[in-house]
Every structure is written in structure tokens, then in C-alpha cells.
């Protein structure tokens, strides 16, 4: 099985040097008592221990055994229970939770790094605490205070866990056509009837209760997506002392056999007059759920990055050890380590450059979310909103790419299960699909986040970056200035086009913007380097990898621009029979 060591020095570099969040935390009234630099570092180190020692070494076993369904009961790999208990005992399940309800109140920029570690350790395992955290965000924002008092402390403590139940077999991303119904009961609760599929962590015995957040339609619901409401449906109904009592009518029909994340129980859940409680306003369930979805979308980025980081570490170690071919040796019977081959360096640098830019990017987006939340900063909120689909789509696309490339460095051994590289490929693949496919993310980005406001938020961001580049120019980052100019030009051109053209261009456009912004991330990495703080090796690696990015990766933007510059309106109209 592949090994894993949390990249704490790059994490603290991002937190403290690139984005100087320790300084920001001190300026904020809510955060200043909760967190400062040393605490943050200690938190990362403690999280690393659990991930490195209790989860990562057993990810291969979890993959092989998987979640199993027997007589309606889902059993998980045994070490999932002990590792989960460690999370509970350390308070990790409430890391980003609201302190008013027992959470630790840590900023997203920090909790996201713990997410990354959990994903490196085992994406399948990470989903159990991950879904709970998402459910808490939705409840915190949309539930009434009594509900929050009842459920949030138990969810933050990890005693209970959460799910999100959206998908039905005929309705994937098209929630408007869902069929699950909610009929009012006399006591103010609702009787939920229907069947949901692909429910992550839908059934298991890690926790004493599971709180399902379920989308369903009320009898008087308007048609389509404006007629969906959100319901809280506990696996065990609470008794008078708010402890799990009677079993609710939610049962698991089956669990899916998947390409990967086998330790995650992906359930078909049947609701047969299950008792549920309305959360938020009737018919406003979709916007409630989007609160949770947006949170999850950021976590998806951590899945891409987490798998890519682990893939990189193992490919690097292998490249240093594996002797094949001659680079410096002259002896035909002696081989050199493959890291000496330019093509292996190319693969490693491609992964490294994208991973480190990805980590800086994720920290940036999380910090924007924090500033939006703690300082009510409008522009930070708008930018986080703009960048969310990139975090989800681009970071997971890069995650697959990194894992495939790292697997390639292993040659034939990369294809064999025992090395663990192929599992990373299988596991990370799902992140491009769930929580809204990357195509849906791209459409959201192009149409809603860029075209809908005529590019205002994006262009103001590009203005600020341009100003920063002018104020603190770095010769290495010169290609970034040109790339931004090209991006502006193309954006202006695209904004004159019809929606079909935009929808067809969306995936490429999202990638183009991402490459430019990753260039900005490398610029920020370079800016943050400091002889007095960082080791020579650290500075050499960062400087070299930045050059690699600007010379060997950023030019990909030119190809995408060339694609999108061609007029293509007529190309998305091929009749089905002509395919």
C-alpha cells in the first residue's frame, strides 16, 4: 500500500506566508480568541497523526473489503470504527462547527487542510465526517433554533452523522422532476415516501443515529425545481429526552458496487411513510440544499488534491528508488534511478506544480469564504462564489490527471493492486462526477458566474491581479500578464455569444480561467518566499516549480484559447441520428 505524510510545511507556508491568515485571524473579533498561528500548526500536526497512522495505512484493506450489506445492515471495515472514534474523541468532527452549538469554530482555511489530509488518507472514509459537516452547514443556516439545539451538538460531537438525499434513479442533476413526496401529518411532521439513490453514508453503524436531509415535494408543490422542500429524517426518531428511540421507516434497499471508494456505503434508501420535519420554508428546499452542496463542492477540491498529493509522494519515492536505464552511469550492467530521466522529471513536475498551485488556490477560496462569513465582506463572498466551480471541477480534473500520471511513473507496478496507485485513480475518479458533474460546474461557471453579470466579478478580480503584478512585478511571472490579457480578450469575445455557444465552451473556458489563476497562485508562492524564514531547498524547489509552471503548463492556455476563438455555434447542433 502507498504511504502518506501530511505536507504540513506547504500547508503552513500557504496559511501564514502566502495568504498571511494568522494576521487576518488576529484582526477578526470572532476568530481572534479561537485561533492563532501556533494553534493552527498544532491542529494540523494532530490531524496528520490520525490520518497518517490510523487511516492511510489501511486504505487498501478498506478498498478490498468495502462496505457490505447483510440483512439491511451495512458493515464497514473494522478500522473505520476505531479511526472514527479517534476523530470523535479529538473533537475533529466539529472542527468547523459553530461554537454556539458545540463546534470548534475553526476557519475554513484551516479545516480545509484537515479535509485534504483525510482525503489523502482515504477518500471513502473522509465521506463519513464530510457529509455530516455538510449537513450541519445546511441546518445551521436554515433550521429553527430548537432543531439546531437538538441536532447540531450531536452532529458536531460525531455521535450522530448526516447525509444528503437528493438523487432519484430517473432524476440525477435534474432535481425538478423528482417524485419523492412529503404529506403533512397531524402532528406537524411529514410522511415521506419515495426512493433515493447514490446516498453516501446512507446507512452504517459508525454512529448512534443518522440524520438524513431529504428533498421531497409537498402535495401543493409548484412544478419543477421551485416545488422542492427540505426535510430532516432521522434514522431513529428521537424520544422525549432527545435520544434515538424508535426506528424510522428509512431502509437501505441495496448498496452500489463501484469503481472505487469501496469503503463508502453508497445506498439506495427507501422512505415508506418515514417521519420527517420541514427545514426552512416550503418549496425552498433547493436553495437550502445548495448551501450544503456549495460546502461539499469545496470539499470535492480537497478530494482531488488529497489523492493527488498522496499519488505524488509515492511516485516521487518510487522514482528515487527504481533503477532503470542509464542517465549518469556508464556501466551497462548498472541502472540509475528513473528520477534522472527528463520524462520522469516532467511527470513529477507537472503533478507537483499543479498540486501546490491547487493547495494555494483552495486556501485562497477558503479564506475568501472566511472573510465573507466573519467580516461580511461582499467582494470576498462574490469571489468565493465565482471560484467554487473551479475548486470543484478543475481541482478534481487535475486530481485524476495527477493520479494517472503518478501511476504511469510506476510502470507495470502502477497497474498492480498491491502498490496502491491504481486505487488512487479509482477513488479520485468519483470526485469529477458527484456533487454535480464537472460539466455542470462548468455550465454554472460560464453561464451563472461569468455571463450572467457580464463578467463583472471575474474582470474585477483580474483587475486586482493585474494591479498587483504591476505593483510587485516578478520577472518569472511575466507570462502571466500576457495570459491575463489573452483571457480578457477571449472573455469579451465570448460574452457576445449565444447561450449554446457559451454552454459548449464552458468546460474549456473553466479550464482556461483556472490555468491563469493557477499562474497567479505561483506568483503568490514566489512572492511569499523569504530567505530568513525558508530553507534553501524549499526556496529552490518552489522557484524551480514556478518556472516549470510558467514555461511548461501555463502555455496550455494558448491551446484552449485557440479552440475557443473558433466560431462554433453551428457545431452543437448535430442531430442524434448523425452521431
For residue 290, state whether it binds its own copies (rule: CB under 8 A). no
Question: Which of the residues 98 through 157 are near its own copies (CB under 8 A)?
Answer: none
Q: Considering the complex, state which of residue 149 and residue 535 has its C-beta at the smaller distance from its own copies.
A: 535
Question: Which of the residues 316 through 335 are near its own copies (CB under 8 A)?
Answer: 316, 320, 323-325, 331-335
- The DSSP-derived string for 312-355 is HHHHHHHHHH-B-S-SS---TT---BGGGSHHHHHHHHHHHHHH
Question: Which of the residues 147 through 186 are near its own copies (CB under 8 A)?
Answer: 167, 170-174, 176-177
Question: Which of the residues 490 through 509 are near its own copies (CB under 8 A)?
Answer: 500-501, 503-504, 506-507
For residue 429, state whether it binds its own copies (rule: CB under 8 A). yes
The set of residues, in sequence order, having a beta carbon less than 8 Å from that of 213 and lying 6+ positions away, is 135, 138, 139, 162, 163, 164, 165, 230, 231, 232, 233, 279, 289, 292
Question: Which of the residues 338 through 367 are near its own copies (CB under 8 A)?
Answer: 339, 341-349, 352
Q: Considering the complex, state which of residue 87 and residue 506 has its C-beta at the smaller distance from its own copies.
A: 506
Q: Please state, as a whole number, how many other Cβ atoms lie within 10 Å of the Cβ of residue 23.
A: 11
What minimum distance in Å lies between the beta carbon of 548 and its own copies? 6
Q: Considering the complex, state which of residue 241 and residue 536 has its C-beta at the smaller distance from its own copies.
A: 536
What minimum distance in Å lies between the beta carbon of 260 and its own copies? 8
Question: Which of the residues 18 through 57 are near its own copies (CB under 8 A)?
Answer: none
482 touches 462 (CB < 8 A): no
Considering only 10-18, 26-34, 292-300, 433-441, which stretch makes contact with its own copies by CB under 8 A? 433-441
Whether 435 is a known active-site residue: answer yes
Residues near its own copies (CB under 8 A), total: 104
The residues pairing with 453 across neighbouring beta strands, listed in sequence order, are none
511 touches 441 (CB < 8 A): no
- At residue 349's C-alpha, the angle toward residues 348 and 350, to 5°, is 90
Q: Considering the complex, state which of residue 40 and residue 442 has its C-beta at the smaller distance from its own copies.
A: 442
Q: Considering the complex, state which of residue 244 and residue 399 has its C-beta at the smaller distance from its own copies.
A: 399
What minimum distance in Å lies between the beta carbon of 82 and its own copies? 26
For residue 432, state whether it binds its own copies (rule: CB under 8 A). yes
Q: Which of 75, 141, 225, 270 binds its own copies (CB under 8 A)?
A: 225
For residue 427, state whether it binds its own copies (rule: CB under 8 A). no
What minimum distance in Å lies between the beta carbon of 382 and its own copies? 25
Q: How far apart are CA 105 and CA 98, in angstroms?
A: 5
What minimum distance in Å lies between the beta carbon of 170 and its own copies? 7
What minimum distance in Å lies between the beta carbon of 397 and its own copies? 10
Report residue 222: phi and psi, to 5°. Answer: -65, 160
Q: Considering the complex, state which of residue 143 and residue 442 has its C-beta at the smaller distance from its own copies.
A: 442
Q: Considering the complex, state which of residue 330 and residue 532 has its C-beta at the smaller distance from its own copies.
A: 330
Q: Considering the complex, state which of residue 146 and residue 574 has its C-beta at the smaller distance from its own copies.
A: 574
190 touches 275 (CB < 8 A): yes
Q: Which of 24, 198, 271, 361 binds its own copies (CB under 8 A)?
A: 198
SS3 label, residue 579: coil
Q: Which of 53, 141, 437, 481 binds its own copies (CB under 8 A)?
A: 437
Question: Which of the residues 438 through 457 are near its own copies (CB under 8 A)?
Answer: 438-439, 442-443
Q: What is the DSSP letter of 242?
A: S
Q: Considering the complex, state which of residue 254 and residue 378 has its C-beta at the smaller distance from its own copies.
A: 254
Question: Which of the residues 266 through 285 are near its own copies (CB under 8 A)?
Answer: none
What minimum distance in Å lies between the beta carbon of 514 and its own copies? 14
The beta strands (E) that lie in 83-189 are given as: 160-165, 181-184
What minimum distance in Å lies between the beta carbon of 414 and its own copies? 7
Pull the grid cell for residue 36.
492563532
Q: Please state, as a whole number, how many other Cβ atoms lie within 10 Å of the Cβ of residue 500.
A: 14
Q: How far apart are CA 208 and CA 512, in angstroms?
A: 46
The residues pairing with 234 across neighbouring beta strands, listed in sequence order, are 211
- The DSSP-derived string for 27-84 is H-TTTTTT--HHHHHHHHHHHHHIIIIIIGGGHHHHHHH--EEETTEEE--HHHHHHH
278 touches 229 (CB < 8 A): yes
Q: How far apart are CA 120 and CA 266, in angstroms?
A: 20
Q: How far apart are CA 575 and CA 203, in angstroms?
A: 43
274 touches 211 (CB < 8 A): no
What minimum distance in Å lies between the beta carbon of 500 and its own copies? 5
Total number of residues shown for the chain: 579
What minimum distance in Å lies between the beta carbon of 236 and its own copies? 28
Q: Considering the complex, state which of residue 22 and residue 309 has its C-beta at the smaller distance from its own copies.
A: 309
Question: Which of the residues 407 through 426 are near its own copies (CB under 8 A)?
Answer: 407-408, 411-412, 414-418, 422, 425-426
SS3 label, residue 253: strand
SS3 label, residue 182: strand
Question: Which of the residues 520 through 579 are near its own copies (CB under 8 A)?
Answer: 537, 540-541, 544-545, 547-548, 551-553, 555-563, 565-568, 570-579
Catalytic residue among 435, 454, 468, 476: 435
SS3 label, residue 4: coil
For residue 297, state whether it binds its own copies (rule: CB under 8 A). no
Any idea which residues carry the catalytic annotation?
435
Amino acid at each position: 500500500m502507498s504511504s502518506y505524510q501530511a505536507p504540513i510545511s506547504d500547508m503552513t507556508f500557504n496559511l501564514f506566508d502566502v495568504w498571511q491568515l494568522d494576521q487576518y485571524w488576529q484582526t477578526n473579533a470572532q476568530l481572534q480568541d479561537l485561533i492563532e498561528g501556533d494553534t493552527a500548526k498544532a491542529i494540523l500536526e494532530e490531524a496528520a497523526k490520525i490520518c497518517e497512522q490510523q487511516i492511510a495505512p489501511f486504505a487498501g484493506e478498506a478498498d478490498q473489503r468495502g462496505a457490505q450489506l447483510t440483512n439491511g445492515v451495512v458493515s464497514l471495515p473494522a478500522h473505520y470504527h476505531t479511526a472514527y472514534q479517534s476523530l470523535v474523541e479529538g473533537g475533529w468532527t466539529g472542527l468547523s462547527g459553530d461554537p454556539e452549538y458545540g463546534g470548534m469554530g475553526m476557519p475554513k482555511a484551516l479545516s480545509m487542510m484537515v479535509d485534504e489530509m483525510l482525503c489523502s488518507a482515504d477518500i471513502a472514509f473522509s465521506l463519513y465526517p464530510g457529509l455530516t459537516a455538510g449537513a450541519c452547514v445546511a441546518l445551521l443556516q436554515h433550521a429553527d433554533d430548537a432543531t439546531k439545539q437538538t441536532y447540531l451538538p450531536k452532529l458536531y460531537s460525531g455521535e450522530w452523522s448526516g447525509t444528503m438525499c437528493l438523487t432519484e434513479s430517473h432524476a440525477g442533476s435534474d432535481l425538478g422532476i423528482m417524485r419523492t413526496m412529503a404529506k403533512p401529518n397531524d402532528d406537524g411532521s411529514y410522511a415521506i415516501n419515495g426512493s433515493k439513490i447514490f446516498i453516501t453514508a446512507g446507512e452504517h453503524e459508525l454512529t448512534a443515529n443518522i440524520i438524513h436531509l431529504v428533498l421531497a415535494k409537498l402535495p401543493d408543490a409548484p412544478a419543477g425545481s421551485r416545488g422542492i422542500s427540505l426535510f430532516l429524517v432521522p434514522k431513529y426518531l428521537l424520544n422525549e429526552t432527545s435520544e434515538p428511540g424508535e426506528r424510522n421507516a428509512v431502509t437501505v434497499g441495496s448498496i452500489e458496487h463501484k469503481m472505487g471508494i469501496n469503503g463508502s456505503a453508497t445506498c439506495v434508501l427507501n422512505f415508506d411513510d418515514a417521519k420527517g420535519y420541514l427545514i426552512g420554508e416550503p418549496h425552498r428546499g433547493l436553495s437550502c440544499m445548495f448551501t450544503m452542496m456549495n460546502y461539499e463542492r469545496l470539499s470535492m477540491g480537497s478530494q482531488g488534491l488529497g489523492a493527488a498529493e498522496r499519488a505524488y509522494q509515492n511516485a516521487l519515492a518510487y522514482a528515487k528508488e527504481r533503477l532503470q536505464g542509464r542517465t549518469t552511469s556508464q556501466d551497462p550492467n548498472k541502472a540509475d534511478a528513473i528520477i534522472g530521466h527528463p520524462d520522469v522529471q516532467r511527470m513529477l513536475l507537472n503533478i507537483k506544480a499543479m498540486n501546490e498551485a491547487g493547495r494555494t488556490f483552495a486556501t485562497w477560496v477558503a479564506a475568501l469564504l472566511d472573510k465573507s462569513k466573519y467580516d461580511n465582506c461582499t467582494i470576498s463572498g462574490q469571489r468565493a462564489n465565482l471560484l467554487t466551480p473551479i475548486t470543484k471541477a478543475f481541482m478534481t480534473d487535475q486530481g485524476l490527471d495527477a493520479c494517472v500520471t503518478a501511476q504511469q511513473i510506476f510502470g507495470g507496478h502502477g497497474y498492480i493492486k498491491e502498490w496502491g496507485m491504481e486505487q488512487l485513480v479509482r477513488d479520485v475518479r468519483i470526485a469529477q462526477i458527484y456533487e454535480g458533474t464537472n460539466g455542470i460546474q462548468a455550465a454554472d461557471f460560464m453561464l451563472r458566474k461569468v455571463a450572467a453579470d457580464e463578467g463583472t466579478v471575474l474582470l474585477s478580480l483580474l483587475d486586482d491581479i493585474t494591479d498587483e503584478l504591476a505593483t510587485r512585478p516578478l520577472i518569472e511571472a511575466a507570462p502571466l500578464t500576457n495570459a491575463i490579457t489573452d483571457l480578457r480578450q477571449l472573455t469579451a469575445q465570448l460574452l457576445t455569444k449565444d447561450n449554446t455557444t457559451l454552454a459548449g465552451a464552458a468546460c474549456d473556458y473553466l479550464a482556461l480561467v483556472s490555468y491563469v489563476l493557477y499562474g497567479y497562485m505561483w506568483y503568490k508562492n514566489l512572492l511569499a518566499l523569504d530567505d530568513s524564514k525558508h530553507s534553501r531547498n524549499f526556496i529552490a524547489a518552489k522557484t524551480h516549480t514556478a518556472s516549470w509552471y510558467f514555461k511548461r503548463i501555463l502555455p496550455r492556455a494558448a491551446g484552449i484559447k485557440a479552440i475557443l476563438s473558433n466560431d462554433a455555434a453551428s457545431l452543437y447542433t448535430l442531430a442524434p441520428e448523425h452521431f
